[in-house]
Structure 1
């Protein structure tokens, strides 16, 4: 009876949870083979593959080396493992001796506890090579024993994928040969699994965020872990049961998406406007209508702490995610532009904290808040940048050959309307811009000739003729990280357009400078000035005369007021010229010289 009992619990020990090893008692054989050699040379070989492995009969981990055909992914390099030799629970000075039945009793007790042992000694740290293997070798019996193996560093990222660490596990060296069952194996192969996590992507949808107080949406997308049906509900001891033919929140216990914003941004209310799931091959930065499912507000919680916004997916939302594993979760964070730093750049990243894959017997690990030390490290997105600058002008009046700086001249800045035909790919093939009153827009996209319109900025010149706008978005950089690049396209931000590439593809966003109050003794500009803003930063130019020069002509104060028909016509023309500042109309194109 004792022998049968020993067989049963030895098999339990050798199952070894994550490593997936099996063990059977030895059958009849040579006495030297069926007893453990306490002086044997040993090898513990760790294999790291991007899972999962196939379910073929010869692919069940059992301590032997499995064929490469058992694995769908490649070997993973750079995973670091700490290997601890375990001592008896009641004798910290003595290693568990697997050459004795007492040693196997102790091994069984450790395995049943499923807890990291306190009585252990670090014997080696090994790192997987390019083929995904790492080996701990020992001679003269030093390697015989019970081990606790802990992955301390996940594999190196590959092709934008990061990897979570595998669950720590016990393993015995040696193990019974599972093929013949009549000898011991002193070379033991284990296959702890890593789950791949694609690095989240962040996009700055800031084409409308062109002025202070304008809205900016940041869109964060991440691939839902491909866990499948792993476990069912927890039992009375808080441990997961096995697969239950359901793919739900038990299989994905928690998922957090968080973004810490620059102090140059105000967090809107609500801070999160939309959460949804799109297909794995969809472009999450563009696809807002072709959705698999939209998460209801009751599916997630939003917490704001300082400049950090954290989205916690609740059970109902986790079930929707688990049912669509491999697809992408997309979250829209809402902000407004508060201020602009001196260098004109606002940079930002987001993070995703997914739960590790739960396994049968693991303690319940659902989390209401982000764990202090998550099993899967926070996955950090690419960096997106918003770029801003100021329009600086040097206003002069010209009288003959002399120039005079003009004080108290007022300008208003509006956004020009982008015109042009779209080609077959939806790209502007001819950039034309209009500064017509009905086409230009101020804050909130209101037309310049509409009642109550507010300009994007106002400029008033000083005694030196210098004037500067408030911060405005660069014409040549917007929507950083938005829209996937065609395969093989160089550059880009995480495989998506940079702000510059977006501008080059869809045309720069230009501005119209409208003079609304002339200097005393000078004419208003007859039409707006179309310009591009191309330099980031808000610092004043060192020499104001290097700013964009805008020239005004002296007012004509010698128009005749009486006389014959010809004089009347000239007077009417004079009224039209003087009124040009309040009834301006301009249409500019790339063929027309632009003043920038």
Structure 2
């Protein structure tokens, strides 16, 4: 039987529910029992005000002067009438209130016994964070939060009952009920890192985008990674995308035509929902094609989940080492060969393998454009070994350079000289001997000619 005591229990439970930010019933038992003035011909409405504000005092079903902030647009609720024996509860009657009281103040789902739910109607909060369903018969309704929209909701509101009408402390009945369910929003965090494996400009530079994704009681609506490469950085490939360390397959995500965005498909979002609190990791391969003036290549990435974004940049630093090869008279020397090392030699011997080799060009230059480090590390030390001198020159006694310090965005220049050997002056033995023999030969020829003349003269005188 419908009694004042039973209504009192119902209303006491409703007040406890309202403390969580939702309205059910709000009048005292005495007022509710004594009014008896429900207008059964009226229709009512449920107005849902959605925000991420901290829960405050319990509402009484009336509209607050201003909605709590921040409001949440795009959140969807379903509203269903509660049925008994397939018929909506009629809260214009004492019997309807008794049937409502029997359900308690907190829904236990699914409903059992003779209770069931009628056809659901969906409403979505507008730009003001309000969703309204009007033209409702007087009865008890179950309200369920079903879709987060573009909101990073951590925990959806628990399903709750709303009575139309709603009893008021002043003995009146509120046919247009306002409820204020609250949500706690999740936070996301993307961390972008770059490896320091690249040593020379043009080497592959690998960027890793890791997004911490919290568990959500509502399905995720969207997930997008955006990475627009800066000038001087060239795209090679998205190497992999994974959730919780498990690689995704092609149908789980799409890549934009310009390779700047990765978007999870419905299949990928389903895997994200099933992973709970997890990490989404994407690995991007690039290469540097030009060094900016400050030597910094900064690549920023953004993750957007359900309309909420976070971003994080990462930086790789570059600089230039230039050798100029010449002799002691400042003559430019092409053809000298060198090796570049990142560690100092030990007892004149190289440590590790050379980072690069080079041959001086027609200008006597070797230019190496170098990755120096990542983030705040923008300085690196190098050592150069001359392995072959230009033709006609010899290696120095110590073919190693000293320590060469290269800073980000700067050109470190080092001049390397070679000595050209000059042999001693040799005596001119060949030329002097020939001259002496020539003079002696001419003398002998003169003596022979004189003898012949003398002999002829004697012969004439004898005749």
Q: If the TM-score is normalised by the length of the shorter chain, which range does it land in?
A: 0.5 to 0.7
Structure 1 residue 103: Cα displacement:
4.5
1:5 alignment counterpart:
6
Asked whether 1:342 is paired with 2:271, we answer no
1:168 alignment counterpart:
158
Asked whether 1:192 is paired with 2:192, we answer no
CA RMSD of aligned residues (A): 5.5
2:357 alignment counterpart:
460
Residues 80, 152 of structure 1: 8 Å contact kept: yes
Structure 2 spans left out of the alignment, 5+ residues: 200-205, 215-236, 249-278, 290-296, 426-463
1:19 alignment counterpart:
21
Residues 79, 127 of structure 1: 8 Å contact kept: yes
| 3-state DSSP of counterpart to 2:157 | coil
Residues 7, 33 of structure 2: 8 Å contact kept: no
1:404 alignment counterpart:
334
The 1:528/1:516 distance shift into structure 2, 3 A limit, reads same
- What is the rounded CA distance, in whole Å, between the counterparts of 2:158 and 2:367 in structure 1? 61
Residues 513, 529 of structure 1: 8 Å contact kept: yes
The 1:78/1:11 distance shift into structure 2, 3 A limit, reads same
| Aligned ranges 1:474-493 → 2 under 5 Å | 474=373, 478-479=375-376
| 3-state DSSP of counterpart to 1:5 | helix
- What is the rounded CA distance, in whole Å, between the counterparts of 1:448 and 1:50 in structure 2? 64
- What is the rounded CA distance, in whole Å, between the counterparts of 1:471 and 1:526 in structure 2? 17
Match of 1:50 among 48, 53, 60: 53
The 1:197/1:410 distance shift into structure 2, 3 A limit, reads same
- What is the rounded CA distance, in whole Å, between the counterparts of 1:450 and 1:116 in structure 2? 82
Structure 1 residue 116: Cα displacement:
6.2
Structure 1 residue 410: Cα displacement:
0.9
1:115 alignment counterpart:
109
| 3-state DSSP of counterpart to 2:311 | coil
Structure 1 residue 392: Cα displacement:
7.9
1:387 alignment counterpart:
316
Asked whether 1:178 is paired with 2:168, we answer yes
Structure 1 residue 190: Cα displacement:
1.5
Residues 397, 406 of structure 1: 8 Å contact kept: no
| Aligned ranges 1:13-92 → 2 under 5 Å | 15-16=16-17, 18-21=20-23, 22-23=25-26, 24-25=28-29, 26-27=31-32, 31=36, 33=37, 35-53=38-56, 59-66=57-64, 74-88=69-83, 91=86
Residues 53, 70 of structure 2: 8 Å contact kept: yes
TM-score norm. by structure 1 comes to: 0.42
> Deviation per CA, 1:196-223, whole angstroms, max 9, x where unpaired?
445447475x8xx74469xx9x9x999x
The 1:86/1:386 distance shift into structure 2, 3 A limit, reads farther
Match of 2:419 among 521, 544, 555: 555
> Deviation per CA, 1:488-512, whole angstroms, max 9, x where unpaired?
xxxxxxxxxxxxxxxxxxxx72233
Asked whether 1:99 is paired with 2:95, we answer no
| Aligned ranges 1:321-360 → 2 under 5 Å | 341-343=286-288
Residues 21, 180 of structure 2: 8 Å contact kept: yes
> Deviation per CA, 1:284-314, whole angstroms, max 9, x where unpaired?
xxxxxxxxxxxxxxxxxxx984689xxxxxx
1:530 alignment counterpart:
405
Structure 1 residue 134: Cα displacement:
0.7
- What is the rounded CA distance, in whole Å, between the counterparts of 1:451 and 1:307 in structure 2? 48
Structure (1 or 2) with the larger CA radius of gyration: 2
- What is the rounded CA distance, in whole Å, between the counterparts of 1:167 and 1:146 in structure 2? 15
The 1:520/1:457 distance shift into structure 2, 3 A limit, reads closer
Asked whether 1:148 is paired with 2:148, we answer no
Structure 1 residue 51: Cα displacement:
0.7
Structure 1 residue 387: Cα displacement:
2.4
Match of 1:472 among 371, 391, 397: 371
> Deviation per CA, 1:67-116, whole angstroms, max 9, x where unpaired?
66xx9x7342425232322352653xx54443345544257438554336
| 3-state DSSP of counterpart to 1:461 | strand
Residues 123, 131 of structure 2: 8 Å contact kept: no
- What is the rounded CA distance, in whole Å, between the counterparts of 1:183 and 1:339 in structure 2? 64
2:386 alignment counterpart:
517
| 3-state DSSP of counterpart to 2:132 | strand
1:573 alignment counterpart:
none
2:255 alignment counterpart:
none
| 3-state DSSP of counterpart to 2:340 | strand
Residues 396, 405 of structure 1: 8 Å contact kept: no
> Deviation per CA, 1:361-393, whole angstroms, max 9, x where unpaired?
xxxxxxxxxxxxxxx989875334242669686
- What is the rounded CA distance, in whole Å, between the counterparts of 1:449 and 1:402 in structure 2? 30
Residues 380, 406 of structure 2: 8 Å contact kept: yes
- What is the rounded CA distance, in whole Å, between the counterparts of 1:397 and 1:122 in structure 2? 88
Residues 16, 171 of structure 1: 8 Å contact kept: no
The 1:304/1:39 distance shift into structure 2, 3 A limit, reads closer
Q: Which has the higher strand share?
A: 2
